[in-house]
Amino acid sequence: MLIRDDIMIVKPIKTIKGEIIAPPDKSISHRAVILSAIASGKTTISNFLFSDDTFRTLSAIRKLGVSIDIDENSSGLLVEGKGLDGLTATDEINCGNSGTTMRLLTGLLCGQKFNSYLYGDESLNKRPMKRIQEPLSYMGAKIKLEKGHAPIIIEPSKLNPIKYTMNIASAQVKSSILLASLYTSGVTEIEELLPTRNHTEVMLKHFNCNIEYEDNFVRIINPNKLIAKDIFVPGDISSATYFIALALITENSNLIIRDVGVNKSRTHILRLWQKMGGDIRIFNERILNSEDIADIEVKSSDLTGIVIDKKDVSQCIDEIPILAVTAAYAKGETLISGAEELKVKESDRLHYIYMNLKNMKSDVKLGDNSIYINGKENLVGSHIDTANDHRIAMAFTVAGLKASGETNISNHECVRISYPDFYKDLYKIIKH
């Protein structure tokens, strides 16, 4: 790998070997800052992820009057919780590229006694926000959108609890309702038809909230008071999957990734790869502040294609780009269906998976909400259009490391959204 004229040039490698520590989890870092801000007392957050997206949440929370000290050496934050009613008004909040920041903060802010205004970058301002406006309005929230999109204007209102069945699979929507529900009295219940990550539920419980949850159901009983309690953020399994995939598809590889969050609602990708024949071992499992954490060992494997449906997609939504890359190198056919949510991420991920795989001479077909991939041993290096989407950039860097010739990754710096050290960590484990 080398950088020429600002473009990352990726060439085929021999093998992957060694040990690496997964970067801190993005979803848990966002939630740690938000919940510690409205808890009573001080919270130390260790191993916080310093990335563009999580900085958006951190700055927003500071603008809302919460003091956060950063110790970059220990990757730690000290948050002075203000309690549920201690936030103060700010002029406007720039959520950048981060859907999690925008949707979770809307849930938090619609129960406050002041107006709020949230906006994002070009990509975020195109992403759907009706999905939060609808349930929050049922609760009594006053939220204005522009044709279903940000900017979001929030006016103060009195919120009521709801019983809500989710009509799309989204942990952000679920979390937004849970945060708003903290400003109601009574019982809010959410049923999910498709399971999604449960980090908000886990962390609310960690902060002593009166909440019950199981696979598809959450109940929160108010009034609540959150009590500050220290948090260590586990490694991000979504970030780890790029290295897992590379080890799986590269001959003679053996890789250990330490301290990865293995919350059951995030490990579906590992089960899918194991089903494809992937040699993946989870060991040294332990619990750290209510979240499961473990080490993962991966060895090169002969993968075979599989069928992936909507229920699979909801449980590994961010891993579909890298899963598609491994499918392109697997034996036989893979069909990923029910993937409409991929079209409304930082880019239309279904489209960019298709275009980039096609340019690498993969046998691939695009359906309305699906993608079909007939795997082969070798892809051909090509120009990759990342659409400024970090997950497309990382997935196709992996594709390029196994392809013949050169692969050029445009705007590779977009990895700073979730994993600023991605290329640095990759260098550590590549053996030429």
Ligand X SMILES: C=C(OP(=O)(O)O)C(=O)O
Annotated binding-site ranges for phosphoenolpyruvate: 26, 99, 127, 172, 349, 391
Shortest distance in whole angstroms from residue 249 CB to ligand S3P: 23
Report the residue number, 47 or 100, with the smaller CB distance to ligand S3P: 100
Catalytic residue among 259, 318, 385, 389: 318
Which one, of 143, 112, 130, lies nearest residue 37 by Cα? Answer: 112
Residue 341 · residue 168 · CB < 8 Å? yes
Among 177, 418, 425, 426, binds ligand X (CB under 6 A): 418
Total count of residues recorded for the chain: 432
Shortest distance in whole angstroms from residue 50 CB to ligand S3P: 17
Report the residue number, 249 or 395, with the smaller CB distance to ligand S3P: 395
Three-class secondary structure of residue 38 per DSSP: coil
Q: Which amino acid is at 133?
A: Q
Report the residue number, 179 or 429, with the smaller CB distance to ligand S3P: 179
Task: Mark whether 318 is an active-site residue.
Answer: yes
Residue 294 · residue 235 · CB < 8 Å? no
345 binds ligand X (CB under 6 A): yes
At how many degrees (to 10) do helices 320-328 and 349-359 cross? 20
200 binds ligand X (CB under 6 A): no
267 contacts: CB under 8 Å, gap ≥ 6? 237, 282
Scanning residues 195 to 254, which ones bind ligand S3P (CB under 6 A)?
197
Report the residue number, 172 or 253, with the smaller CB distance to ligand S3P: 172
Joined tokens for residue 118? 């949230």
315 binds ligand S3P (CB under 6 A): no
Radius of gyration of the chain (CA): 21
For 47-59, b/e burial (b = at least 16 CB within 10 A) is bbbbbbbbbbbbb
Which one, of 187, 317, 301, 181, lies nearest residue 248 by Cα? Answer: 301
For 170-179, b/e burial (b = at least 16 CB within 10 A) is bbbbbbbbbb
Contact string (CB under 6 A) for ligand S3P, positions 167-196, x = contact:
---xxx--x---------------------
24 binds ligand X (CB under 6 A): no
Shortest distance in whole angstroms from residue 73 CB to ligand X: 26
319 binds ligand X (CB under 6 A): no
Residues that bind ligand S3P (CB under 6 A): 27, 99-100, 170-172, 175, 197, 317-318, 341
Q: Which active-site residues does the annotation give? A: 318
Residues that bind ligand X (CB under 6 A): 53, 98-100, 318, 345-346, 391, 418
